[in-house]
Amino acid sequence: MAKKNSYDLAASSRRSWKTELKRDWMVYLLFLPIILYEVILHYLPMFGIVMAFQDYNVTDGYFHSPWVGMKHFVDLFSGEDFLQAIRNTVVIGVLRATIGFVAPIIFALMLSLINSKKFKRTAQTMSYLPNFVAAVIVCSLFTQFLAKDGPLTLLLTRVFGAENQNWFANDKAPVFWIIYLLMGIWQGIGWGSIMYVAAISQVSGDLHEAAALDGATRMQRMFKITLPSILPMILMMFVINVGTALAAGYDNILLLYMPSTYNVADTVYTYTYRQAFGAGNSNYSLSAASGLFQSVVSTILLVGSNALSRKAAGSSLF
């Protein structure tokens, strides 16, 4: 297939634009919508980033707003808020890329130890549900459950003797991070395990059989056969996870945090949002600067992790 394609490409590249357009004008026309779409909605905003170096205001636009150089970046890094947001982003990102990453793998391994097909299938289907519940609903449920006298709060109070409180109003260091991590795990554990379950089912049954005949217990087989067989995939997924750790997964915080918990819950993403669209705020240039910082760092992470994946696992995203 690949060979055929490269041959085909050579065919079109040998012809001149004129013959190409004459021959296949319809296909070229089919490119038009996506080109317009990409240019307007993805490439124009990339040029719009210049506003991070201006004191942008809506009436003057890009062409007449005064240039201020690195002022907004200096502001960002000399204030406490942004540095705090970076710290929280790193903490939450690291938690999600480690513990949050391992949870679906453990779940998949456990599923592989279950013999009853019916039980396994039912449990899997049930575990998918949170993935399809809207973020607004998930956050409102967690807010209810962890409010003062909420069901989860009461459980924590009765079992662990924790104080009956609104956990989302707690601004002590690890509380919000742990809640947010657990919320992410709750949402993703079932759906995230699908790929691993599929990979585990590909592991040859003969290997297991041979090992079992040699007296290996199920746990031994899991650690010595199943886990090593899916390790390349785990590695690749981990690298992808690290690459996208900064880019996604922080929008739910917008539904959960409050001014009194900014010190632990504010992230670069929420900071960017708040500066531009928060109540009474329209620091567009500052927000653009913060957004640019995030874009650049996550691009570096993505490219870096992709290169690493190509080297270590032999496969890459692009």
Partner 1 sequence: MAKKQRKKEEWENNMVETKSAADRIVDVIVYFCVALVAFCSVIPMWHVLMSSFSDGKSLLAHVGLVLWPVGGFTLDGYSLIFQNASIVGGYVNTIIYTVSFTVIGFLLAAVTGYALSRDTKLKKPVTMALMITMLFGGGMVPTYMVIRALGWVGTPWALVIPGCTNSMYCIMMMNAFNSIPKEMYEASHIDGAGHLSTLFEITLPQAMNMGSVIILNLVIGQWNSWLPASIYVPNKKALWPLQLVIRQITSENADFLNSSNPNYSRYLIQFAVIIAAIAPIIIAFPFFQDKMEKGVIQGGVKG
- In the window 249-308, what residues touch partner 1 (CB under 8 A)? 251, 254-255, 272-273, 276-277, 284, 287-288, 291-292, 294-295, 299, 302-303
- Phi and psi angles of residue 168, each rounded to the nearest 5 degrees, phi first: -75, -15
Residue 30 interacting with partner 1 (CB under 8 A): yes
Residue from 54, 89, 127, 261 touching partner 1 (CB under 8 A): that is 127
Provide the token pair at 83.
Answer: 């540095």
Residue type, 16: S
Residue 9 interacting with partner 1 (CB under 8 A): yes
Least distance between partner 1 and beta carbon 286 (Å): 9
Cα–Cα separations (whole angstroms), residue 142 to 105, 155, 297, 317:
24, 14, 31, 34
Q: How far apart are CA 283 and CA 52, in angstroms?
A: 10
Residue 134 interacting with partner 1 (CB under 8 A): yes
Residue from 74, 102, 126, 178 touching partner 1 (CB under 8 A): that is 126
Those residues whose C-beta lies under 8 Å from the C-beta of residue 290, and which sit 6 or more positions away, are: 76, 82, 268, 271, 272, 275
Site string for partner 1, 79-118 (x = CB under 8 A): ----------------------------x--xx-xxx---
Least distance between partner 1 and beta carbon 145 (Å): 7
Q: Name the residue among 23, 229, 193, 215 with its Cα closest to residue 114.
A: 193
Q: How far apart are CA 266 and CA 142, in angstroms?
A: 18
DSSP 66: P
Query: Using an 8 Å Cβ cutoff, are 224 and 203 in contact?
Result: no
Least distance between partner 1 and beta carbon 275 (Å): 8
Least distance between partner 1 and beta carbon 175 (Å): 19
- Identity of the residue, 1 or 159, whose beta carbon is nearer to partner 1 in the bound complex: 1
Least distance between partner 1 and beta carbon 261 (Å): 15
Least distance between partner 1 and beta carbon 155 (Å): 8
Instruction: Determine the 3-state secondary structure of 67 from DSSP.
Output: strand
- Identity of the residue, 20 or 81, whose beta carbon is nearer to partner 1 in the bound complex: 20
Q: How far apart are CA 269 and CA 246, in angstroms?
A: 9
Provide the token pair at 171.
Answer: 């601004």
Segment contacting partner 1 by CB under 8 A, of 70-78, 79-87, 94-102, 213-221: 213-221
Cβ atoms within 10 Å, residue 237: 20
Segment contacting partner 1 by CB under 8 A, of 74-82, 90-98, 149-157, 173-181: 149-157
Segment contacting partner 1 by CB under 8 A, of 80-88, 169-177, 188-196, 224-232: 188-196
Residue 159 interacting with partner 1 (CB under 8 A): no
Those residues whose C-beta lies under 8 Å from the C-beta of residue 103, and which sit 6 or more positions away, are: 185, 188, 189, 192
Segment contacting partner 1 by CB under 8 A, of 68-76, 87-95, 184-192, 307-315: 184-192
Least distance between partner 1 and beta carbon 246 (Å): 12
Instruction: Determine the 3-state secondary structure of 20 from DSSP.
Output: helix
**Sign (positive or negative) of CA dihedral 211, 215, 218, 223:** negative
* CB neighbour burial string for 270-308, b if at least 16 within 10 angstroms, e if fewer: bbbbbbbeeeeeebbbbbbbbbbbbeeebeebbeebbeb
Segment contacting partner 1 by CB under 8 A, of 70-78, 80-88, 170-178, 214-222: 214-222
Residue 51 interacting with partner 1 (CB under 8 A): yes
Residue 136 interacting with partner 1 (CB under 8 A): yes
Least distance between partner 1 and beta carbon 238 (Å): 13
